[in-house]
Amino acid sequence: TCLFKTPLLVPTPRKMYALLTAVAGLVLLPFLLHARFPYLWPDLQYVLRGVGIALRMRSYAKRAPCYTVLDRFLDRVRAQPGKAFLVHDGGRFSYLDVDRRSSQVARVLSRRGRLREGDTAAVFMGNEPAYVWVWLGLAKLGCVASLLNCNIRAGSLLHCFSCCGAKVLIVSADLKEAVEGILPTLLDQKVAVFVLSKECDTVGIEALADELDAASEEPLSPALRMNVTLKTPALYIYTSGTTGLPKAAVINHERMWLASFMQTIAGVTSSDVIYIYLPLYHSAGFLMGLTGAIDKGITVVLKRKFSASQFWNDCRRHNVTVIQYIGEIMRYLCNTPKKDNDKIHSVRLALGNGIRSDTWTEFLQRFGGVRICECYGATEGNIGFVNYTGKIGAIGKVNTHSLQRSYPYAMIKYDTEKEEPVRDSRGLCVEVPLGETGLLVAKITKSTPFSGYANKEQTKKKILTDVFEKGDLYFNSGDLLRTDHEGFIYFQDRIGDTFRWKGENVATTEVTDVMIMLGFIEEANVYGVRVPGHEGRIGMASLKLTQGMKLDLLATYEHIKTYLPSYAIPRFLRIQNLLDVTGTFKQMKVKLAEEGFDPAVIRDSMYFLEDNKGYVPMTKDIYSSISEGRLRL
Ligand SMILES: *[C@@H]1O[C@H](CO)[C@@H](O)[C@H](O)[C@H]1NC(C)=O
Ligand SMILES: *[C@@H]1O[C@H](CO)[C@@H](O)[C@H](O)[C@H]1NC(C)=O
Ligand SMILES: *[C@@H]1O[C@H](CO)[C@@H](O)[C@H](O)[C@H]1NC(C)=O
């Protein structure tokens, strides 16, 4: 039965030699493998972390009652009560401090707002420590927190508040006025509105601060949230779509866990300090940042708002080791004046998405050895990727077994003109060949569910059916991705970031990249506008000029002509002092595209590209020749 015993025990010289080479081979193996499969180790590490996460997830689901991020927080409080959890504007709150305050919040809200397990309460606050204990307080009652974007007002605020059935609204003192605008409607709907200040003279809004201070700090009974499972909604997070009103994505406890694991995958350790300046009402700040930090038990330096000038000083002052980013932020940081101490900081890891390769390279050169972990994933999506290998520009990598089998996804052919997937004669979608760009779709299964939006209609719109088989269901990511021959996945475009002109696809990011090579252009937002009598959309660029510099029309024309094909050259330029950005800094292309290029409507200065001549100021004459079809483009 034991085949190997004899030869090993009594080695002949020949066998001895074979054994030695085998041992030497084992020692050398990692090096040989590294040469042949350079990404084996990162792949393996990633798969191992993935397996670890899957095991944790299973055990959390099995416990009764299930184990949520709140339970993790409470375990942290027991293990490290005195450790700093939140640092904000000179204030410092330990894990125990935050636990006590959240218990006070829970008591007062259950008494005054009559909140019970399963109820929803909306939180309308900016980044501040109270945000965290209000949410934890709600979680202790088994309630769902609806995280309202603190920049929205009036009609859209009401829309967002109403679409998730909240019966309580909690607002910070500085945002009270924004709520007053919609107060009559809220009171009509019997909504209880609370402000976190000591007093409030607005009828219908109750001040809570004194009562909070007076409430007991003792822990609350877990029986209050006894029925919570991993599938129970934990949060509503509004996704800032490029079109229409925001949608409330349902984040259940399982999804909250999965997003929080991002820090584990990226290699965050318990001694790290994370800097959170992204808004807590979005998934990047809340899930990848805050709840991820709770999972790791680390200190969070919470910043009200991003500030390019304070960024590195904050990092130095608080010994920050991990930062989050979105592409634009990295560019803003690179655009700040160079300083001698640019490389003096302890930041070792940047976690985020949307960075362009040129910015990535520039950032590393300028600010030193920060490991950039680019990840891809939507708040409501059922799939995500991570660049765990260090390949500049890539958002992730297909690793042979794990991903595609357990998370079935595909890149399918997409018709940018009709704005829908290409279908074959049987009505099914078509996968793109390796190396080509396609729309990312991810199969909706029991293990990769799509929890959807509060609104069922919107949920339906994000689901594609009959993708590869009749009746199958896929999540439509709305993103165009490409996989190269080594298996690296690249983000190409968000649908809407491409438009079609003269039968060609124009990638707006590519045009932007070319335009900002010019020193006097600080930012460029490129989009397509409709022209009467023409198919497709023609290019237009809204520019923000570098401070103190002038727009050089001739140089712009010469430069763009050199780098871009004729169909991609913006035909119109619009100069704006401030480019409109959404709360997450996504440029608002749709709004600009709708505004078009009519000089009677647009007050900003505009330029038109005359055939073979260059840019000239836009006039009413040019506009009417174009719209009446006398001037063909
Ligand atoms: C939990 O579920 C049980 C059984 O369905 C129910 O009787 C109880 O009221 C629920 N508890 C809460 C706090 O909703
Ligand atoms: C940051 O680290 C330095 C050196 O280790 C230490 O002296 C300082 O107290 C730390 N600052 C904070 C805010 O932790
Ligand atoms: C992602 O790519 C960058 C490229 O420089 C690399 O430094 C970083 O280590 C990568 N991220 C991870 C998690 O490996």
173-217 per-position pLDDT tens digit: 999 999 998 999 999 999 999 999 999 999 999 999 999 999 999
Residue 607, token pair as written in the block: 């330029």
* Nearest-CA residue for atom 6 of ligand 3: 390
Q: Which ligand is nearest to the CA of 301?
A: 2
- Each domain of the chain, given as residue ranges in start order, spans 396-494, 499-627
Q: How many CB atoms lie within 10 A of CB 247?
A: 24
pLDDT value of position 612: 78
SS3 518: coil
pLDDT value for 79: 98
Question: Which residue do the tokens 């002092």 mark?
Answer: 577
What burial class does residue 401 get, using C-beta atoms within 10 Å of its C-beta: 0-12 exposed, 13-18 middle, 19+ buried? exposed
Answer whether residue 225 shows pLDDT above 50: yes
Give the model confidence (pLDDT) of 52-108 as tens digits: 777 888 888 888 789 999 999 999 999 999 999 999 998 999 999 999 999 999 999
- Residue 555 is predicted with a pLDDT of 94
Quick check: 50 pLDDT over 80? no
Distance CA 411, CA 478 (A): 11
pLDDT reading at 282 higher than 90: no
Q: How far is the CA of 355 from the centre of ligand 3 (A)?
A: 12
Strand residues in 484-595 grouped as ranges (E) = 488-494, 498-501, 504-507, 521-529, 538-545, 572-575
What value does the mean pLDDT of the chain take?
Answer: 84
Range 470-491 average pLDDT: 84
CB 279 within 8 A of CB 287: no
> At residue 390, does pLDDT exceed 60?
no
- Least confident residue range of 131-140, 402-411, 594-603: 402-411
Helices 327-335 and 357-367: crossing angle in degrees, nearest 10, is 50
Which is more confident, 82 or 419? Answer: 82
Distance 392 CA to ligand 3 centre (A): 7
Q: How many helices (H) and strands (E) does the chain have?
A: 23, 30
Residue 55's identity, in one-letter code, is L
Pocket test for ligand 2, best of 319, 320, 345 (most atoms within 8 A of CB): 319
- pLDDT number for residue 425: 93
What are the tokens at 507? 């990638």
pLDDT band (50, 70, 90) for residue 632: confident
Pocket of ligand 3, candidates 374, 385, 395: which has the most ligand atoms within 8 Å of its Cβ, to mutate? 374
pLDDT at residue 240 greater than cutoff 90: no
Under CATH, which number does the domain 499-627 receive?
3.30.300.30
Q: Which residues of 282-297 are buried (b: 16+ CB within 10 A; e: fewer)?
A: bbbbbbbbbbbbbbbb
CA of 91 to the centre of ligand 3 (A): 33
Q: How far is the CA of 266 from the centre of ligand 3 (A)?
A: 9
From the CA of 319, how far away is ligand 3's center (Å)? 21
**pLDDT reported for residue 291:** 97
Ligand 3 centre distance from Cα of residue 365 (Å): 14
- Only one residue has tokens 């765990």, namely 388
- Our mutation pick for probing the ligand 3 site, out of 387, 388, 391, counting the most ligand atoms within 8 A of Cβ, is 387
- Give CATH for domain 396-494: 2.30.38.10
* Residues within 6 Å of ligand 3 by CB: 266, 371-374, 387-390, 392
Decide: 300 and 293 in contact? Cβ < 8 Å.
yes
- Name the closest ligand to CA 142: 1
In the prediction, which pLDDT does 80 show? 98
Q: Nearest ligand to the C-alpha of residue 299?
A: 2
Task: Quote the CA–CA distance of 528 and 144 in Å, as a whole number.
Answer: 40
**370 alpha carbon – ligand 2 mean position (Å):** 19
Q: Lowest mean pLDDT of 142-146, 169-173, 469-473, 562-566, name the range.
A: 562-566
Model confidence pLDDT, tens digit, residues 293-322: 999 999 999 999 899 999 999 999 999 999
Nearest residue to 314 via CA among 325, 302, 326:
302
What residue owns the CA closest to ligand 2's atom 3? Answer: 319
Neighbours of 540 (CB within 10 A): 23
Q: What is the DSSP letter of 407?
A: S
Q: What percent of the chain has pLDDT over 70?
A: 83
β strands within 242-357, DSSP E: 247-252, 273-276, 299-302, 322-326, 349-353
Query: Does residue 227 have its Cβ closer than 6 Å to ligand 1?
Result: yes
Region 210-234: mean pLDDT is 95
**How far, rounded to the nearest angstrom, does the alpha carbon of residue 401 sit from its chain's CA centroid?**
26
Q: What is the pTM of this model?
A: 0.73
For ligand 1, say whether the CB of 117 is within 6 Å of any of its atoms.
Answer: yes
Is the confidence at residue 403, as pLDDT, over 90? no
